[in-house]
């Protein structure tokens, strides 16, 4: 019978030199996705995941700085370092790779095995809280992402920002899997390569490590939004952004998007606002899905003679100009504010 090959490396109390490595060197040092156990002054441990997208480095920058100065941290840590093959090349993911933040439910193959191994480790351990750290791909304020609305999850989010998004879809993200075990949140700390993103993450890590109990927060101090739609560009569509062409509409592009939308992330945008220009029928170029994966394109977008505009008032978030992210994930989310009753 063939031996089962583990997809997950496990390293307990690693040498201090690990925390001197840049994210691009972790693959050579560790060989692949790795779970670090670091004994601290108190338990239960805090679980932190980072580098699920290989070029989103603020999480590792903050952790390596903190642990370089605190070899025995105030609280034990369990750290998951995700897509190290992509990190070695400073890219979000490699061509053909599955998104490592979409493997935490019903995944198969190598990634499914990796997710199952990691969850088995976490289920065998009492956890204090969980934090998934991401950089953002567009111009957005700092915000958290929640997959459950509880006083504890909102309390953790409020330690980072007064803005948070509650998401039900996709339901395959890390935080949704872990929130069944402990209070959990995702943070979006700003663009890759921004020093302020690293500083903001380090400051949050310090606050988490100082906690003696999970803070509780109600909605009165938190601007809480709900994702009601996600916009995708169809796979076979050639697209570009208007300001990348100085306003020209190239004959080779099926879809011309309004780049200015990135500037209004987390701002209310009225119905009738120009969104895109399409050379094909709307449903051949753009698709909007709701949290149940239902096609709701006609609820949010309308088209006349190729001009696409908003059908209703929306709050865009995570609108990105990164072509690779759009192909791998989506163009943006559409939000509604959850109002206190």
Q: What is the pLDDT of residue 251?
A: 55
Residue 100 contacts residue 83 (beta carbons within 8 Å): yes
Same domain, 273 and 333: yes
Residue 5: other Cβ atoms inside 10 A: 7
Q: Is the pLDDT of residue 145 over 50?
A: yes
Token representation of residue 249: 């509409």
The answer to whether the bond into 170 is cis (omega within 30° of 0) is: yes
- The per-residue pLDDT for 192 is 86
Domain of residue 141 covers 9-221
Confidence grade of residue 139 (pLDDT, cut at 50, 70, 90): confident
pTM over 0.75: yes
Do 212 and 129 belong to one domain?
yes
Shared domain check, 146 and 233: no
Q: How confident is the model at residue 38 (pLDDT cuts 50, 70, 90)?
A: very high
Q: In this prediction, what percent of the chain has a pLDDT beyond 90?
A: 85
258 and 199 in one domain?
A: no
- C-alpha span between 7 and 83 (Å, rounded): 12
pLDDT for residue 101 = 96
pLDDT value of position 233:
97
Shared domain for 217 and 232, answered yes or no, is no
Q: Is residue 174 part of a domain?
A: yes
Residue 102 in domain:
yes
Residues 6+ apart with CB under 8 A from 287: 231, 232, 234, 295, 297
Is the same domain home to 101 and 244? Answer: no
Which residues are 233's β-sheet partners?
Answer: 286
Cα-flanking dihedrals φ and ψ of residue 330, to 5°?
-165, 170
**Per-residue model confidence as pLDDT tens digits over 90-100:** 999 999 899 99
- Please tell me the distance from the alpha carbon of residue 161 to that of residue 157, in angstroms, as a whole number: 6
User: Stretch 3-21: mean pLDDT, rounded?
Assistant: 86
- pLDDT beyond 50 at 147: yes
Domains in the chain: how many in total? Answer: 2
In this structure, is residue 152 part of a structural domain?
yes
Instruction: Tell me, yes or no, whether 137 and 72 share the same domain.
Output: yes
The pLDDT value given to residue 340: 61
Instruction: Give residue-wise pLDDT tens across range 182-232.
Output: 999 999 998 888 889 999 999 999 999 999 999 998 888 899 999 999 999
Residue 4 lies inside a defined structural domain of this protein: no
Start-end of H helices in 10-108 = 26-30, 58-69, 84-88
243 and 270 in a single domain? The answer is yes
Mean pLDDT, to the nearest integer, of 83-111?
Answer: 95
- Asked if the model's pLDDT at residue 247 lies above 60, the reply is no
Residue 148 sits in the same domain as residue 234? no
Is 1 within a domain? Answer: no
CATH number for the domain that contains residue 196:
3.40.630.10
Q: Tally Cβ neighbours within 10 Å of residue 20.
A: 10
What whole-number distance in Å separates Cα of residue 186 and Cα of residue 335?
Answer: 17
Q: Give residue 194's pLDDT.
A: 85
pLDDT score of 2 more than 80: no
Instruction: Assess whether 197 and 304 both reside in one domain.
Output: no
Q: What's the confidence (pLDDT) of residue 1?
A: 36
What is the per-residue pLDDT for 223? Answer: 93
DSSP 8-state symbol, 279: S
Average pLDDT over residues 98-108: 95
Q: What is the mean pLDDT of residues 290-313?
A: 96
* 3 inside domain: no
Instruction: Examine the fold and report which residue of 200, 221, 242 is the final residue of a domain before the chain moves on.
Output: 221
Domain boundary among 181, 197, 221: 221
Establish if 2 belongs to a structural domain.
no
The reply to whether 214 and 281 lie within a common domain is no
Average pLDDT over residues 297-305: 97
270 in a domain, yes or no? yes
pLDDT score of 243: 65
Looking at the structure, tell me whether residues 208 and 239 fall in a common domain. Answer: no
Mean pLDDT of the chain: 92
| Percentage of the chain lying above the pLDDT 70 cut | 95
Which residue, of 221, 236, 262, is where some domain finishes?
221
In 3-state terms, what secondary structure has residue 121? Answer: helix
């Amino acid at each position: 019978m063939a031996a089962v090959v583990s997809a997950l490396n496990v390293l307990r109390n690693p040498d201090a030199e690990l925390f001197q490595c840049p994210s691009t060197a972790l693959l050579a040092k560790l060989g692949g996705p790795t779970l670090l156990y670091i004994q601290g002054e108190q338990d239960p441990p805090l679980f932190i995941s980072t580098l699920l997208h290989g070029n989103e480095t603020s999480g590792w920058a903050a952790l390596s700085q903190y642990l370089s100065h605190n070899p025995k941290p105030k609280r034990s840590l369990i750290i998951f370092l995700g897509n190290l093959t992509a990190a070695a090349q400073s890219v979000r993911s490699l061509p053909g790779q599955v998104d490592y933040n979409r493997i935490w439910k019903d995944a198969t193959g190598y990634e499914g095995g990796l997710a199952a191994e990691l969850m088995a480790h976490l289920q065998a351990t009492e956890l204090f809280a969980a934090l998934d750290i991401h950089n953002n791909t567009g111009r957005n304020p700092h915000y958290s992402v929640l997959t459950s609305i509880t006083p504890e999850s909102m309390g953790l989010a409020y330690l980072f920002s007064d803005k948070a998004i509650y998401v039900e879809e996709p339901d395959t993200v890390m935080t949704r899997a872990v929130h069944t075990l402990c209070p959990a949140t995702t943070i979006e700390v700003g663009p890759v390569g921004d020093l302020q993103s690293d500083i903001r993450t380090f400051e949050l890590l310090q606050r988490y490590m100082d906690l003696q109990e999970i803070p509780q927060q109600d909605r009165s101090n938190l601007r809480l939004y709900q994702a009601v739609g996600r916009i995708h560009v169809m796979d076979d569509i050639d697209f570009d952004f208007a300001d990348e062409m100085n306003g020209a509409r190239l004959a080779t592009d099926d879809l011309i998007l309004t780049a200015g939308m990135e500037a209004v992330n987390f701002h209310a945008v009225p119905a009738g606002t120009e969104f895109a220009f399409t050379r094909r029928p709307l449903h051949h170029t753009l698709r909007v899905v709701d949290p149940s994966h239902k096609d709701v394109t006609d609820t949010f977008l309308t088209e006349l003679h190729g001009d696409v505009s908003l059908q209703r008032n929306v709050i865009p978030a995570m609108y990105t100009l990164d072509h690779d992210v759009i192909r791998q994930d989506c163009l943006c989310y559409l939000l509604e504010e959850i109002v206190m009753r």
